[in-house]
Amino acid sequence: MTIGFARRFAGYKRASLLLDDPDRLWKILSAPERPVQIIFSGKAHPRDNIGKDLVKRVYQFATEPRVAGKVVFIEDYDINVCRHLVQGVDLWLNTPSQGYEACGTSGMKVALNGGLNLSILDGWWPEGYDGTNGFAIGGSRNENNDIRDAHDRQAIFKALEEEIIPLYYKQDAYGLPRDWVRRMKQAMCTLGWRFSADRMVKDYTMHCYKPAAGISTCQMNIPFV
């Protein structure tokens, strides 16, 4: 099972959240019957020292001997690296501090490629998640960062250990993870059309540009469906 985490490295996105319990993470990565690997990639703003420290932390963890090959950091993150990651991962991990994520477009692209999201309920995910098209973590809003992070870390580990990984490796007589595939199809059916540039342009036109201009849809001669 391949988990992906690739985006701008900023403090509130908490790229190293699971790394703060390395022993528990290692048990997941090294399980002989249900192996898991994690691929990280991303960049920090040149003036964002917290983001750059996160990149350094993840890279150092990925180069530790016992996790070599189980955790990988891909350098020089760009649109081409992102393209391959959103097409190739099974699960997209999103761990922002709740209330800070503006949107989360990388997870939208994953859904279009048949991947599933595991995300804190923030950004786009509260609108997109319906209980059958991915996985969600409520997220703590505790003002104490350590307490909040510990709560969210525990919830994510629990979801991985008790629900997500068993579901991925649950196979029928033909070796197919049908319940997992069912979620993949549900994600593509429910998320692809709702989170696209096409919908974005229509929403801006109908709810912003048209009211600002004070004219009707008919006068604009734009078909809306």
Q: Give the pLDDT confidence score for residue 206 in this predicted structure.
A: 92
pTM given for the model: 0.89
Instruction: Name the CATH architecture for the domain at 2-194.
Output: 3-Layer(aba) Sandwich (3.40)
How many angstroms separate the CA atoms of 192 and 186, rounded?
10
Q: Give the pLDDT score at 218.
A: 55
User: Per the structure block, which two tokens stand in for 7?
Assistant: 């985006």
Structure tokens at 139: 């997220």
| Other CB atoms within 10 A of residue 178 CB | 10
Residue 144 CB burial class (10 angstroms; 0-12, 13-18, ≥19) = exposed
Residue ranges covered by each domain of the chain: 2-194, 196-225
In a 3-state reduction of DSSP, which class is residue 152? helix
d(CA 93, CA 13) in angstroms, rounded, equals: 10
Residues 28, 23: Cα–Cα separation, whole Å? 9
* Alpha-carbon gap, residue 137 to 99, rounded angstroms: 13
SS3 state at 161: helix
Total Cβ atoms within 10 A of residue 100: 14
pLDDT recorded at residue 216: 58
Query: What does the block give as tokens for 73?
Result: 């950091």
Q: How far is residue 35's CA from residue 46's CA, in Å, rounded to a whole number?
A: 35
Closest CA to 97 of 66, 76, 121: 121
Q: CA 34 to CA 28: how far, in whole Å? A: 8
Provide the pairing of β-strand 91-94 with 2-6.
parallel
Task: Please give the Cα distance from 106 to 143 (Å, whole number).
Answer: 27
- What is the predicted pLDDT for the residue at 179? 97
With residue 38 as reference, give the H or E element that holds it.
strand 37-41
- Per-residue pLDDT of the chain in tens (225 residues, 90 and over written 9): 999 999 999 999 999 999 999 999 999 999 999 999 999 999 999 999 999 999 999 999 999 999 989 999 999 999 999 999 999 999 999 999 999 998 888 899 999 999 999 999 999 999 999 999 999 999 888 889 999 999 999 999 999 999 999 999 999 999 999 999 999 999 999 998 888 888 889 999 999 998 888 865 555 565 555
